[in-house]
Structure 1
């Protein structure tokens, strides 16, 4: 049973308890579901509101319930992130985008840097892009935060063209950087520099040039987005 299926099943169970007339049990189920980071389905929140109407005759305590859950959510998320936090000097790097925009660790000194190593053939990479676009949009007005999307580990000679088409087709506003294999050594230079073994890999570097988080794997638009956003906010303080 996949985590996504388990989550949906849990949602439906909580809502079913409301419909069955057992609101006190249902509220515990919904509280457990809502005590997870990320956006929540409106049907679950509607079920919670319905519970308070059943118990109190109105929904005056609903907002207090939601606020209390959010407070617990925040504490749990920060505890989880603190366990992942590291502090190691970032290796020096420099790379130029397909449009000629050059960046380097030195040129970005004093900024928070999020590097996303990805490839077009990597489904978890591309699947994470909706969440990554949300993050880019979230900090779009903050010039102290920089996103660098680096395509690496290409499998075909037309990798640059394919990557450009993918971003254009999906309307992603990412600056594209290509970490193409060295023709002699047959290694991707930045992939080697950052010791990239799995894709996607996201590296978050603080304003002092230290790597604070290194994450691999798919992130969704809810829990994954919220966790990554909180990581960025924590190291910007």
Structure 2
């Protein structure tokens, strides 16, 4: 493929409403990223910047269909094609993948909101155990990624619901994430400003710049997550 240079941002917006005091501030912060690819988790379409091309992961992740809430929204500056969603298991309503027509050639985007440790344990279906939905989703992501064309760069972005390197999560859970993500570099791992992060960007490209922002503005809480943006380039773009 030709040289590739894209910016990718992701943020869990904590179901911020489109109106009121909080919504416009969240929307402005997303717009200020000017990212080519934007993955918003626990969000609403009304928070996304104007224009672009948008797909989502569906409206049902086991808590009943949601009218305007989406676990995952993927917005691209360029047209999207080859869209696929997970509709069963831990990834249902939480995973969407598509090709974006970047100027340097297509890039595969895998947008995720991997379940938190208590998903469907005491809420929702109430048929899960701690981390079971999370691990099931990771298994699904492994199968999905195995079908990706290795000649096309891949970017994974969204809410991983794990700190990298491991924080308090069980060792087996951290190790499983490392196995599934082993084909990519998690650019947002480690000691970063406003970290440690659980919203991450990973890829088989090279990260040449990273910027984070906090989940608050002055005295107002916008989200319980920090957001992050990465500038990604291929080896050809750097040569």
Q: How would you bin the TM-score normalised by the shorter chain?
A: under 0.3
Q: Which has the higher strand share?
A: 2
Using structure 2 for the length normalisation, give the TM-score: 0.24
Using structure 1 for the length normalisation, give the TM-score: 0.24
Larger Rg: 1
